[in-house]
Chains A and B, each alone.
Chain A
Amino acid sequence: MSEILQLKRKATEIRMELLKMIYESGAGHTGGSLSITDILTVLYYKIMNIDPTNPTWEHRDRYVQSKGHAVESYWAILADKGFFQKEELKTFSQYNSRLIGHPNNKVPGVEMNTGALGHGLSISVGMALAAKMDGKSYKVYTLMGDGEQAEGSVWEGAMAASQYKLDNLVAIIDRNNLQITGNTEDVMSIEPLGSKWRSFGWEVVEVDGNDIEQLVHTFSKLPQTVGKPTMVIANTVKGKGISIAENQVGWHHRVPTKEEYELAVEELSQQLEVLV
């Protein structure tokens, strides 16, 4: 089986897992977790230099999930990678669990606590700057939402990253076009997104964020320009993989009913069947 096919299978299995977590716990951000799953799968199973047996290894690549609410995909992947026992996923969003509704750095593998939008990029700038100061070669990846682009602090971080020529920093925008209220362009337009980032001194790459092959290809050859931070605008589909949820604003944090869940599992199973 080709590596790409394996990654596609993995992404589908992660979708299955995160949906189960949301369904069983009765809480979660379904749409956003599904849209970022392919990006996270490629980062965690192909791109990032990490060691689940040594989560604080000083040369590891860092991942900061600025759009902290899409945490289900992240938990499912960290468990699958072995940062903690898969069994613990059952405690997601339950009383006193450490697997809360946002990244929690009491869990091995999580660098920083996030959840308040617009924070991740500045934190990542600090991490990337530290790597430069110490002559270390690790990279810092940070994932933001498209609705998050309305936070002013994002642009403070954007300026600093190019000022300090942080080519070891890769930011990704999960461009699924929807935020909780509706279409991003209706709520607060962020276009032209690419030229905004370019004008802030970033190298901008645009990809299909649900296309594993494209993602692998893109992330494998970064940075494209020495001395510039990279922005990967990942065009995704919110709710990706489950047809009733795809591009539906209502699925931002909707929990599937029993019928919807069974339908979704059936659909994902069918996707897995052809990925051989």
Chain B
Amino acid sequence: MRNILLKPAAGNKIANRKAISDTLLQLGKKDKDIIVLTSDSRGSASMVQFGEELPDQIVEVGIAEQNIVGIAAGLAHSGKKSFVASPACFLSMRSIEQIKVDVAYSRTNVKLIGISGGVSYGALGMSHHSLQDLAVTRAIPGLDVMMPADRHEAKKMIEALVHYDKAVYVRIGRNPVEDCYVSEEYDFEIGKAVTMRAGKDLTIIASGETVRVALDAAETLEQEGIDCRVINMHTIKPLDEEAIVKAAQETGHIITVEEHSIHGGLGSAVAEVVSQAHPIPLKILGIPDEPAITGKTAEVFQYYGLSTENIKRIAIDMLMKQ
């Protein structure tokens, strides 16, 4: 556990989607029931090599997101481990009814990998942003929701999901993200948040690509003498309520940071727990209720304050008010 507190070397060029496809390829070679489904998304899901090496274990459905989920459910019903790799913006919206009925309600073992999530397709506009996916998937009973922070976590998450007999929506981004973990040498458990950094003054809770931002912010805050805890909430559902309540009790202030609408995502999930179990000051950082500005992920993050400087400003503000 200790080495996750160290700062990993910068400059990772491996995107989470690549880490996921490499892991599935490796596991798929040993388990012919692992089936990957793509919706003309083989390239964008980094599944080309998987398709070449395991051609009998990949199913292409064309640009048909409702179909991909229905077929995945039918395959899973017959004992296959279906991994759907399709753009998050379409998968979580166009096929949400199939996800609700054919997957969650029918209890089929389908893993939905929403690729290029959040504002990964930054310049392409609201049609291609997926900033509501956590809200809709989180509200469906029988469906878990996860977001890996980096390539190490993406790998460990997939390894866990292959043996997890329940439907899950996993959202990942398109581009490489800086590592949050030094290596894979840490315990990953579904539904159990990882405390990336200890701290007693304030807690930042993040998931997915904002975990790196949170860690950087905590480092900056340290220079200001603020001892900041960072929690990586890789599983948004089922939520690690214990870690949240503990953070509220021990640090008294929480900031959530997410690449998602401020409605219904990580911040909302945390607020639901905090407001009922241990009310304390809470600030939710995310994308406001508007068609998000277009640009590269970093530019969009900067614009909406999902940045080290803004988190620092808000943290200081919160602590001044106490």
Contact = CB atoms under 8 A, between A and B. Distances in A.
A202 to B, nearest CB: 16
B78 A130 contact: yes
A160 B71 contact: yes
A35 interface: no
B67 interface: yes
B78 A119 contact: no
Given A126-B77, A153-B66, A156-B64, 19 more contacts: A112-B102, A113-B101, A116-B100, A119-B97, A122-B69, A123-B73, A125-B74, A126-B70, A126-B71, A126-B82, A127-B75, A128-B74, A130-B75, A130-B77, A152-B66, A157-B71, A159-B62, A159-B64, A160-B61
A-B CB proximity, top 8 nearest: A126-B74, A122-B70, A130-B78, A156-B67, A126-B71, A156-B64, A153-B66, A126-B75
Interface string A109-139: 0011111101101111111111101100000
Contact of B106 (A58, A105, A118): A105
A276 B196 CA distance: 78
Interface string B261-292: 00000000000000000000000000000000
B64 A105 contact: no
B128 interface: no
B80 A119 contact: no
A58 B35 CA distance: 19
Contact of B67 (A58, A114, A133, A153): A153
A128 B75 CA distance: 8
Contact of A160 (B67, B73, B105): B67
A119 B61 contact: no
A126 B73 CA distance: 7
A133 B58 CA distance: 11
Contacts of A119: 70, 97-98, 101-102
Interface in A81-126: 105, 111-116, 118-119, 121-126
Contact of A116 (B59, B72, B101): B101
Nearest to A128: B74
B64 A160 contact: yes
Nearest to B65: A156
A62 to B, nearest CB: 8
Contacts of A125: 67, 70-71, 74
A123 B77 contact: yes
Nearest to B57: A133
A130 B105 CA distance: 21
Contacts of A111: 77
Given A123-B102, A130-B79, A160-B61, A116 B97 contact: yes
B76 A126 contact: yes
A156 B61 CA distance: 9
SS class of chain B's interface: helix, strand, loop or mixed? helix
B70 A130 contact: no
Interface residues of A, number: 30
Interface of A: 58, 105, 111-116, 118-119, 121-131, 133-134, 152-153, 156-157, 159-160, 163
B317 interface: no
Contacts of A130: 74-75, 77-80
Contacts of B200: none
B77 A113 contact: no
B80 A122 contact: no
Contacts of A126: 70-78, 82
B304 to A, nearest CB: 35
Nearest to B76: A126
Contacts of A129: 59, 71, 74-75
Contacts of B59: 129
A115 B71 contact: no
A85 to B, nearest CB: 23
Contacts of A121: 70
B101 A127 contact: no
A157 B67 contact: yes
B166 interface: no
A153 B78 contact: no
B107 interface: yes
B78 A114 contact: no
Contacts of A114: 101
6 contacts: A105-B107, A112-B102, A113-B102, A122-B71, A122-B102, A157-B70
Contacts of A157: 67, 70-71
B56 interface: yes
Given A105-B106, A133-B56, A127 B67 contact: no
Contact of A123 (B64, B74, B97): B74
Nearest to B59: A129
B236 to A, nearest CB: 25
Contacts of A133: 35, 56, 80
A112 B69 CA distance: 14
Contacts of B97: 116, 119
A94 to B, nearest CB: 20
Given A127-B74, A130-B74, A122 B105 contact: no
A112 B78 CA distance: 11
A163 B77 CA distance: 21
